[in-house]
Structure 1
């Protein structure tokens, strides 16, 4: 699989039928050139500008993980999904979305095996990984080449907000790339109206938070550490400035303690965390499938910080400034990112954020 390079996704993608950095400016401006009355053909581009054109909505979709699956479910295109990798745990998604997600065949509990993916019968594969560290193209399995996808009759497209962000040219500080992915998937699956509704809802929530925290200067905003408990405690894994979590933290009116780290994730030493001495710590726990199991995991993460010699003296620990927000909706692109922004801001700015 060839290396992907971030080419930038902006808010201008909203409402467009032709998404991606490689499409012609005129096409992207009016969204109509060369299209049929039903909205097709639709062209999307990967991070290098390589284009994929759809003459009709795909009928058999395979998703690489729960992120792209959830977006399709929210768009109302979940009935087209014939398989997924990294499935969401039972109870991870809200209400009816969870019931729908549990019916999707699991092609792999982690990365889908190459042979299974190519033989799935899919007409499109939505890839969340691409150049993500340790995923796609090597670290977690032998990914198919573009030629192999073509031979199998599978169109290969990406969620650029996650697949390309690690190769970005600068920090991720807003949700425009996530919104662009939603808009692009809406165009591909013929659910543009629903995509616009989802994006509008996200923007409404985030804009309200931005207005509420606007008066607080950057230098006065609290520092924030995402403690990825499930990544292990021997050596902490931190979120850097090109991870979607950096955008959520920034939009919520905080300062990512590791915003000076270029990339998505990085392992550091506890001495680095101590030197940052964050004002707030998010207990990053992956969904365990039930409220009781989640509470137990959050309790364990907090207890570890409170009893570990290296962390018990941190300002956030001594003041009890912990947030219990799941890892998935913080570090994986999706509609719930806006809810996380709102939840962080409510904790950090009590009385200011509704």
Structure 2
């Protein structure tokens, strides 16, 4: 669809979009949820990075019925080109990877793209991660797809919900320490200060125990977890293994027995799509804030 070119800031670069995409591909469950939350299913040519549609909110699942599943793992160029996309929405380490499919390689083939803001840390320096990153992505997609009013309405609602949480926590002095556990037995995969859980924990009135590490999703070590003694553990549920399996592992690991969160069994599950940038971030912040400060924040 022709329209006057617009310029959008993507990972610190000005990117020009000279037409409204009609055949978009999304890669990553949280990215797909963001796309569908904006009601863009009529511009959808395919999706990838989704192992199980039951991971999507129930109201979104029927929308996948007639859309090709391009891959449940990494992005594949041949499969991608088979659906003749004019736009790809993904992120660095979500689907875009140096030496494989990148925004630059897609541009050479005449395919536009958009990169998830949080993932830009893998390519450029950033000062911090914020829930505004998610809102910014939604608003940028609104501009690119010429649905600005729809995007602004969604973001305004979420900002209002987030502000209510912030207002409830404004007098909080004590910020419980939180360890994010994604996966790993010998070496834990967790989040540094550039991953979305950092922003979510801060907004929920807590403190990420690895907020001093200049990374996003990263490999840590159990010695530091023990030394930093988290009050709460957030378990990221991505089915690898199941959250109950992760919980049992943590509770039965002898070295962790004296960690406060383990002693008091203060563990909270967040789905992968809640812990990564997407339309469920604010609702997840409310659940986390309720866990950390039940006297301040109620569940809806």
TM normalised by structure 1 equals 0.78
Does structure 2 conserve the Cα–Cα contact (< 8 Å) formed by 1:171 and 1:262? no
1:114 aligns with 2:83: no
Cα RMSD between the aligned structures?
Answer: 2.3
Using a 3 Å threshold, how does the CA distance of structure 1 residues 189 and 60 change in structure 2: closer, same or farther?
same
Using a 3 Å threshold, how does the CA distance of structure 1 residues 137 and 102 change in structure 2: closer, same or farther?
farther
Q: For residue 350 of structure 1, what is the aligned residue in structure 2? A: 294
Inter-partner Cα distance in structure 2 for 1:42 and 1:109: 32
Using a 3 Å threshold, how does the CA distance of structure 1 residues 224 and 126 change in structure 2: closer, same or farther?
same
Q: For residue 44 of structure 1, what is the aligned residue in structure 2? A: 8
Inter-partner Cα distance in structure 2 for 1:252 and 1:137: 34
Inter-partner Cα distance in structure 1 for 2:269 and 2:12: 38
1:249 to 182, 189, 201: 201
Q: For residue 236 of structure 2, what is the aligned residue in structure 1? A: 284
Using a 3 Å threshold, how does the CA distance of structure 1 residues 157 and 327 change in structure 2: closer, same or farther?
closer
TM normalised by structure 2 equals 0.91
Aligned residues: 297
Q: Residues 144-176 of structure 1: CA distance to partner in whole angstroms, max 9, x if unpaired? A: 572x4244321122222334467433232x311
Q: For residue 143 of structure 1, what is the aligned residue in structure 2? A: 101
Q: For residue 105 of structure 1, what is the aligned residue in structure 2? A: 68
2:172 to 195, 202, 216: 216
Q: Residues 32-83 of structure 1: CA distance to partner in whole angstroms, max 9, x if unpaired? A: xxxxxx974332232242422233x211111122222211211111121111
Inter-partner Cα distance in structure 2 for 1:251 and 1:329: 14
The structure with the largest strand share of the pair is 2
Structure 2: stretches of 5+ with no match in the other structure: none
* Deviation of the 1:314 alpha carbon: 0.8
Inter-partner Cα distance in structure 1 for 2:89 and 2:11: 14
Q: Residues 281-320 of structure 1: CA distance to partner in whole angstroms, max 9, x if unpaired? A: 11222158xxxxxxx9332222211111111221011111
1:157 aligns with 2:109: no
Using a 3 Å threshold, how does the CA distance of structure 1 residues 133 and 39 change in structure 2: closer, same or farther?
closer
Does structure 2 conserve the Cα–Cα contact (< 8 Å) formed by 1:118 and 1:152? no
Q: For residue 313 of structure 1, what is the aligned residue in structure 2? A: 258
Q: For residue 54 of structure 1, what is the aligned residue in structure 2? A: 18
- Report the secondary structure of 1:116's partner residue: helix
Q: How does 1:322-337 map to 2 (within 5 A)?
A: 322-330=267-275, 332-337=276-281
